[in-house]
Each structure stands twice: as structure tokens, then as C-alpha cells.
Structure 1
Amino acid sequence: MIDSRKKTGAHTLASAPTAQNKDDGVHNIVALEVPAVADFVDNIYDFYRHAEKCGRPCKYMDFQADINEEKRSMVADRLIEVHHSFGLMPETLYLTFHIIDQYLSKEKVSGMELPLVGINALLIASKYEESRSQTNIDYGDILCHAYTKEQMLAKEREIMKTLKWKLSVPTQYVFLVCFLKAAMCDKELEHMVFFLAELGLMHYSMITYWPSLAAASAVYAARSTLKKTPLWTETLMHQTGYSEQQLRKCAQQLVIFHSSAAESTLQAVYKKYSSTKFGAVALHPPATELLRSKEVTSFIMTDEERG
């Protein structure tokens, strides 16, 4: 995985302008990567795109008898709150949700057991992604000591066995890093993208989207919210591989989540991004114009439209 950030617990993406390829008008974001791997960045992201299509979580609520979308959202809200309060890396958060959804795709879980799965997923992701010791985090306290240490360890082993110890996966985060560079974003846009992406993590309906599409949709919805023009550029289409039409459905879902965030009983993401630390981007009016239009006017014509 390309390490494009500092270990600070906050988003630290570069926002410097990228070089431009004069032959095709597409900005070259590879120039921003670490020189030692710059020649391989395109190949790395090609691999990510292939890998994301392997082993995606299934629509597991179809066979989960004792949990539902609401219970998942409640656990998600608590995990995002804990993640933020301990200043953990964003990579950890996205891997946590990958672990949860993969596990629930393979194993039936009771409603009482779901919080145990969630906090163990966070623990596993922390061990994998964080550079500092996590011994200062009392996970038992987070769960109000509802489970014993032995239960925690047993569930951790069970999760890892079910996932066959496969944690090196392209989560949505690796695509967000790449696509934000392609967008040549400022801090406000960066915060807005992560706000919408984290709202998406809260909702079970988003698991059907590939991580790259969810990430590109977050960028598109964020640019729409902040009235960026054009909404979608040649560079973004080239780097993400998605046209506006392909992003419309997912972006509309993110806008709906934004529209209801202030009134929701689950407030972790909204409160986090209403703070000045994250530019209070949650307080921006949602891009409801994306919901009113049946079609999105594309800045770039597709090959089919060109005929």
C-alpha cells in the first residue's frame, strides 16, 4: 500500500498542484508520489482495481436472522466515535469496516454479539495499521465490560480465521488518497470528501459499491456540495476510471445521507465534521440539486455518446 500520509491521526493529503500532460490535457498525479515508486504507481492502482473486485462482501442481511441495517448503523456510529476520540489513522477506520462486512458475509451473528465483532474489528485494524502502541486503549471499557477478556480474544481469533488472515486489501481509503490528488483539492474539499465517505460507512446499502466507485462518488458529491466547476474533469475521469453517469446513483445516496445527518439519532460523523478542526463542512447545505435532476449533465462525453 502506498504510504501517502503522516502518522498524525488526521487527514494529511498533499494539495500541491500537479504537473500537466500537454498531449492529452490530463494532469499527472504520479509526479506527486514518492520518486522511488513513481514509475510503478499506475501499476499499483491497476492492481488495486483488480483486487477490489475479489472477495467483496455479499448482501449478508439476507441471511442474518438477528441483526439488521439499523443495528449495524448503531455499531458503526459508536466505532467512528471511538476511532475519532483515540485519534486513530483513517486507514484503520476503513479497514475496520472491511473486516466487519467480510465477517458478517460469512458468519451469522446475534444482536448481542455484533458490538463485540465491531470492537474486535477496530482492534485488529489498529494492530495492522497503527504505528504506535494501542495498549492505552481499554477496549473493555468501551464495551462497558459487557464481555470478558477471554471472549474478546476468542472473537479476535475467530474473525482472523474466518478472514483467513487476509488484511492487505484495497479499502476505500487508498482510492480516496489517489482521487483527492487528482482533484487538486484544498483542505475544505478534502474534509468534505471524508465527511461524505464516513457517512457512507455508516450505511449497509453502500457495501454493494466497489471501494473505488464509492471513493470517486464521495469526491463528486463533495465537489457538487462546494459548487466546484467543472464538477468532473478529464483528470478525474482518467484517474478514477468513472464518468459522471456512473457515479450518479452512489453520489445521490451520499447526498441523501448528508441531508438527514443533522436530524439523525446517530451523530458521530456529523458532530465530528461540524467541528472547526474539520472546517465545519457538515454544516454546508447538501447538494440536493443532484437529487432533483434525473440525469447528470456530463462534462465529458462517453465513448458511447460520441458514437
Structure 2
Amino acid sequence: MAQTGFCDSRPLPDLHKKAEERCAPLRTWANSCPLKESRTPSEGEKLGEPKYQTEQTYRWVRRLPLSAEDGIIMDYAEQNGSLHQVTGCERKALMDCLTGLSGLQSLTELLPGLLHRELERAMSKMGLICDRTFAWDVFTEMMRTQLRCAFPNADLPPPFTDAMRAILVDWLVKVHMLFHFSEETLYLAVHLLNQSLRRIKVSIASLQLLGMVCLFLAAKKEECLLPEVSELCYLMQNAYSKAQLLRMERRVLCGLRFELSHCPPLHFLLLTASIARCSDKVVLMARYLLELSLLEGQCVVYLPAQLAGAAVCLARRILQEPPTPESEAAWCIASSIHVGSEASLLSIMEIMAVAAARADSRETRATFIKFSTADTLYVSIHPGLKTAPSLYGLSSPQT
């Protein structure tokens, strides 16, 4: 495959940005509207009494209905009553529960309200919403959308193998870095590649062309500036013409039925890390582990939320930062959005731990080099990664 050079990665978003620095929500615009003129009450009408009898109002209670299989959040329910509001006293009660001073029953009652407020804060900080009123609706849609991302099994159609796919994804990481594309573009490109390999009949000779087309389509959806088609052909050493690239693009779009939407695991990772008040190093370590999972064919069967939760859990175990009551309380809230069984979470963490332990010695080293710079706090060369498999009773793989 064509060789490309490495360049510095784009600056990572600041998860700890102050709320004052964000734009004012849209609801504040209503505060600037002039007050209506006061009305003089008519004869026989008491001041302060409503003129019309209002019907009983309903509010949406943000609870988490779960499916029978994996515990996926499917919808919310309408009930009487107001939404549970979280106060400072309740947050203190949560920390008391974690230290064994209270029963677990009160902890269960506090979690939904705490999670709702933390999701609003995290999504507002990430720029996913303009008004916090829609935070839960956006989160629910994210949980629904991810169901279309996973596959029933990890098998690739012949004659492709996981090794071929890993080499192609590694090359896409290099091209992605060369163009300074966003991280969402990379995750969408790999998702389109996984879908295309299973829906479109492609020869081994056209595999690199397919990968470049998937990256090009992802860039069209996520980026503001796009490279020229001739530039893409040059990166493939002109092994394919412009006409071949455009024909392959048409085949991919028709094969996927123009379904290019994808909820990347990166968004779930940033939400979890923001709610859990993770440090910058934990976030970067989790991002590194999550990007390594793109090369692992076994990971395509898992949901984005599962991959993100496993990456954050493993990053916390590797770095072993000193816990505090506040951090443990925040992690308890963040872990409540994890989906799937404990066994599936451990399986993903084992895959990531083995991949991280051998990342520096593999042929596919693009992600390892990407996260070995000062901007990423050298997380890929952290000594704890070498012993990560031993956390799960596994031996470090030898290549």
C-alpha cells in the first residue's frame, strides 16, 4: 500500500471547559422579550385567580426502560409528577452510600436524577446541544442509533481476513492524520468499511480503493474542507484512476443505501469521562485504547457504548489514580449508562489490554505513534500497558 508520513494530531477537546465560556442557551432569548401589559380584573373576578381552569399537566419522567437482553435504553415514559431534582444534600447522601454510611436503596433512588443532570452538563460542554432541555432526547436517540452499528458476528466474507482489514485500517489512520481530519471522520470511515465489506462484493485488488472511498465519504459528511480526488489517487500511488474511485463511491453508496449515519463510540467515551470527572490522562488513555479497538475484528460485534465503557474502565485500572469520595461518586453515576453484561465488558477490556501490550511491536503502529507525542501525554508508551493483560490473568502476547 502507499506509504504516507505522520504528522501531529489535532488538539483534543477540553472536557473541563468552564460553563461560563459556553454560549447562552436558547431559552435565555425569551428573557429579553418585553413584559405584557397588565390587565385590570373585571368585576366579580378576584385578583390572582386564573380565568380558565387549566387541565392537569404531565411532565416526562426520565427513567431508563431496559430491553430484556442487553439493557439498552429504548424510550422514556410519561407519568404524573415532577422530575426528580438533585440537590447538594442528595449528592452528599450519594457519597455516604459509597462509603457504607447509608443503605443501597437510597442510592438507587438518587441515580436517575443525578444522571439526568450530569448528562445535561456533559452534552452542553461537548457542544452536542444548544439547549439543555433536549439533552435526554439526544442521549436516547444515541442509544437507539447504536443498535444499527454492531454485527451479529465478526466473520469477514472470503477471501478477506482480519489481518488484511487491520493493515487497511492502519493505513487509513495514517491518511486521516495526514489530512488533519476529525476523530469522528476516522470512526465513521471504519464503520462504512465494515459495512461495505459485508454488503459489497469486492476483490482483494480493490480493497485499498474501498478503504479510501469510505474515508472520502466520511470526510464529506464530517469535514468542511475536502481533498481533491486526484490527491487521493496520488496517495494510492496512482494505482487507481479518478474514474475508478468515483465508480467505487457510487457502488458503496448504493450498497449501503445511502445510510451514512453513525453514532461513534468516541461520543459515548467523552460523555462517560466528563460525567466521571476523569483527568486528561485518563481520557487520552481511553481514546488510545478505543482507537486500537478499530484494528481488532472481534470488536465489531459490540455496541459503541460498550466499547467506550470498556476503554474508560481499562484506562482507570492502568493509570490507577488515587481515588477520592467525589471521584468515586462521579464514577458511580457514569457507570450507570453502561449497557450489556459484565462478561461482555470484561471481554472487551481483555481484547484492548492484549492489543495495547503488543501495539509497539506490530506492523500496524500508526495509532501507537499517534499517541506517543507530548500532545497526547505519551500515553501509548506508558509502562502500565505492558502489564495490562496480567490484570485479567492473561500473558503478554509475543509477536
Q: What count of residue pairs does the alignment treat as equivalent?
A: 285
Mapping 1:23-42, distance limit 5 Å = 23=90, 24=110, 26=114, 28-34=118-124, 36-42=130-136
Kindly report the root-mean-square deviation, in angstroms, between the aligned alpha carbons of the 2 structures: 2.6
Query: Structure 1 residues 41, 290: CA separation in 2 closer, same or farther (over 3 Å shift)?
Result: farther
Select which of 200, 216, 219 maps to 2:312.
219
Distance 2:136 2:268 in 1: 12
Select which of 346, 349, 355 maps to 1:248.
346
The alpha carbon displacement at 1:61 in A equals 3.4
Select which of 72, 78, 97 maps to 2:171.
78
Query: Structure 1 residues 12, 67: CA separation in 2 closer, same or farther (over 3 Å shift)?
Result: same
Distance 1:141 1:13 in 2: 35
| Secondary structure, counterpart of 1:52 in structure 2 | helix
Distance 2:312 2:296 in 1: 18
Query: Structure 1 residues 138, 221: CA separation in 2 closer, same or farther (over 3 Å shift)?
Result: same
Unaligned runs of 5+ in 1: 1-7, 294-307
Task: Please state if 1:135 is matched with 2:225.
Answer: no
The alpha carbon displacement at 1:142 in A equals 1.4
Is this contact kept in 2: 1:127–1:134, CA < 8 A? no
Select which of 62, 82, 97 maps to 2:190.
97
TM-score, length basis structure 2: 0.66
Is this contact kept in 2: 1:67–1:109, CA < 8 A? no
Query: Structure 1 residues 53, 59: CA separation in 2 closer, same or farther (over 3 Å shift)?
Result: same
User: Counterpart of 1:45 in structure 2: which amino acid?
Assistant: F
State percent identity of aligned pairs. 23
Distance 1:68 1:217 in 2: 25
Distance 1:102 1:202 in 2: 15
Is this contact kept in 1: 2:229–2:242, CA < 8 A? no
| Secondary structure, counterpart of 1:45 in structure 2 | helix
Q: Which residue of 1 aligns with 2:301?
A: 208
Q: Encode CA deviations 1:104-129: one digit per residue, 9 max, x unaligned.
A: 12123222111111111000001100
Q: Which has the higher contact order (CA 8 A, sep 6+)?
A: 1
Distance 1:98 1:46 in 2: 21
Structure showing greater Rg? 2
Distance 1:111 1:193 in 2: 33
- Stretch moving more, 23-32 or 64-73: 23-32
The alpha carbon displacement at 1:172 in A equals 1.5
Select which of 157, 174, 178 maps to 2:267.
174
Select which of 247, 251, 262 maps to 2:360.
262
Query: Structure 1 residues 65, 33: CA separation in 2 closer, same or farther (over 3 Å shift)?
Result: closer
Moved runs in structure 1, 4+ residues, more than 4 A? 229-232, 241-246
The alpha carbon displacement at 1:100 in A equals 0.3
User: Counterpart of 2:198 in structure 1: which amino acid?
Assistant: S
The alpha carbon displacement at 1:45 in A equals 1.5
| Secondary structure, counterpart of 1:95 in structure 2 | helix
Is this contact kept in 2: 1:53–1:210, CA < 8 A? yes
